[in-house]
Amino acid sequence: NPYRMAPPAESSEPDVNSRVDAAASEGVSGRSTVEAAVRAVSTRAHDAPPLLCTLGRQLPTILPSTDPASSVLRLLWLLQALAVHWTCLFSATELAELGTNGDAALPPSAFVNRKLNAKLLRQLQDPLALCSRSLPSWCSALTAECTFLFNFDARRLFLHSTAFGLSRALQRLQQHSQEGGTSSSSERSEFRLGRLPRQKVRISRSRVMDSAFKVMELYASHKALLEVEYFGEVGTGLGPTLEFYTLVSLELCRSELGLWLSEERPPPADGEAADTSHVHTPYGLFPRPVAQKAGGVGVPARTLSLFTFMGRFVAKAMLDNRLVDLPFSTPFYRHLLGHELGLADLQALSPQLGSSLRQLHELALERRRLLRANAPAAQIDSLSLQGCAVGDLGLDFTLPGYPDIELVPGGADVGVTIDNLSEYVQLVLQMLLLDGVRAQMEAFVGGFSEVFGAERLRAFAADELDLLFNGMRERWDRETVIEQLKFDHGYTRASQAVSFLLDILTEFTDAQLRQFLKFVTGSPRLPVGGLARLSPRLTIVQKRPEAGMAADAYLPSVMTCANYLKLPDYSSKAVMKERLLTAINEGQGCFLLS
């Protein structure tokens, strides 16, 4: 059982430090070190699946065992796992006393090998090696199994250069060359390639999901860049395409689809309407559990079809260097990466349920400790949660919040007691995080792998996958924004209108900033690297009024294909903010000439 919790340490055993020291004394090479480390933590780990899964895995033989670097790799692999999952060595009480927030003991950059990182980047600049697929074997081996040796940018470049097809790899190499990666014009001319082929499709806004299903079914695995247009609209190019990915992302979050775990929505603020059409997921998207048998039997066919479509949709966005707007939870990414999920993941999804289940789990551990100590039955029966006996909590063997999902046959009629509490906790975790979502996640991976292999994602951590899928969410300050914007056709950095705009942008709420980005670019998200990596650069130009008209009478307009904001020279900051918000809120959902 992947969610079986390890028993607490007996008082007669040596402490964790002595066990780890003993493990280290066996040497750093070979399998014995990993096995010794597993033994060192297995009797103390409070929530240990992530650590045990990592330490218990056989590190592939990248180098011969006689190579001096082999033992170094194994030691680094072990130390990195301990640095990330060190909290598994302590109980919840001990962690509370330490006052830790669970962050890694060392930052990821501490394990990056600068020489290897630079060598990998040099290999990826060799067009002959890319064309002949003759990169050295260590490139794929180390980026797959020792990902911590390379920074995010290097691993991302390796993915783009090896998983997305030769034409995209060479296009990226040409782009690097044109940005100054080579030293002479003769070298740059060697990389003159034609544009990637485009596949244009035209869809109806009123049936965006039906259209998207068909588009992904036909073109997701095609190597051509997908470009989307809308019936009855003249807009073409990047803007409408980015909006397509945003619109479909929003549709996939509709409550009526029943795809996601959701929490009760808080009451709306004064003057705001409650949005009940979309799921409320403050901690990110995670599949809604469904009672199922082997092969996904029991899961509605529509649900599986939607998750398959979603996998194609996300992979196609990655392939074409587009962004989706699906705020997946960290446990979703961990599941996608094949990690073991446990109580910590449940707490990340639902802090209230996770906290309650952790208290029950600790009570079950206390019962186990008393049983091992041959404590009197009366002492065991007296165990309670905040003064209430487990049998009086009114729990049964159904999934909390889902009374139709029984954890055991006839579970609605089986009460939870102190004697079966441990099994109850395990079964809840098993259903919520594994069994109840297995078919949905397999469908997502299956759809994703139709475009390129989902196993290639394992070179990244959960937070890095969110960057690859959804791009960056960043707050803007005035100094950063002015450095990344371009001013033209009537405006300079010193213009009064530019000063007004910078003040307004830095005052925007997160929701307003998302709407502004969607208005200007077609997507509410920024690419990896933030505003600095937006291509083309966001350009502010002056929108001149017609003769006899005042600038205050005009609304701003945009050219999303060029990331142009056409901004009238308003008389005041207040007028600009009001007109800009009006344009943002009312100018969505259509691409016309401006």
**Helices and strands (DSSP H and E) totals, the chain:** 25, 10
Distance from C-alpha of 408 to C-alpha of 544, rounded to nearest angstrom: 71
What are the strands, taking DSSP E only, across 130-282?
198-203, 225-230
Contact 308, 315 (CB under 8 A): no
Helix (H) or strand (E) holding 406, with range, is strand 402-406
**DSSP codes joined into one string, 14-73:** PPHHHHHHHHHTT-SSSHHHHHHHHHHHHTT-SS-HHHHHHHTSPPP--S-TTSHHHHHH
**DSSP codes joined into one string, 283-349:** T-B-BPP----GGGTTS-HHHHHHHHHHHHHHHHHHHTT------B-HHHHHHHTT----HHHHHHH
**Other CB atoms within 10 A of residue 528 CB:** 17
Catalytic residue among 146, 388, 561, 590: 561
**Burial class of residue 530 (count of CB atoms within 10 Å of its CB; 0-12, 13-18, 19+):** middle
Q: Tell me the Cα Rg of the chain.
A: 28
CA dihedral 352→355→358→363, nearest 10 degrees, is -100
Helix (H) or strand (E) holding 243, with range, is helix 238-251
Cis-peptide, bond into residue 536, ω within 30° of zero: yes
Spatial CB neighbours of 472, under 8 Å, sequence gap ≥ 6 = 525, 526, 527, 528, 529, 530
Spatial CB neighbours of 76, under 8 Å, sequence gap ≥ 6 = 111, 146, 148, 149
CA dihedral 576→582→588→594, nearest 10 degrees, is -60
Cross-strand bridge partners of residue 542: 567
**Other CB atoms within 10 A of residue 218 CB:** 11
In the three-class reduction of DSSP (H, G, I as helix; E, B as strand; rest coil), residue 471 is classed as coil
In the three-class reduction of DSSP (H, G, I as helix; E, B as strand; rest coil), residue 132 is classed as coil
Is position 131 annotated as part of the catalytic site?
no
Phi, psi at residue 387, to the nearest 5°?
85, 0
Distance from C-alpha of 273 to C-alpha of 473, rounded to nearest angstrom: 25
Active centre residues (catalytic): 561
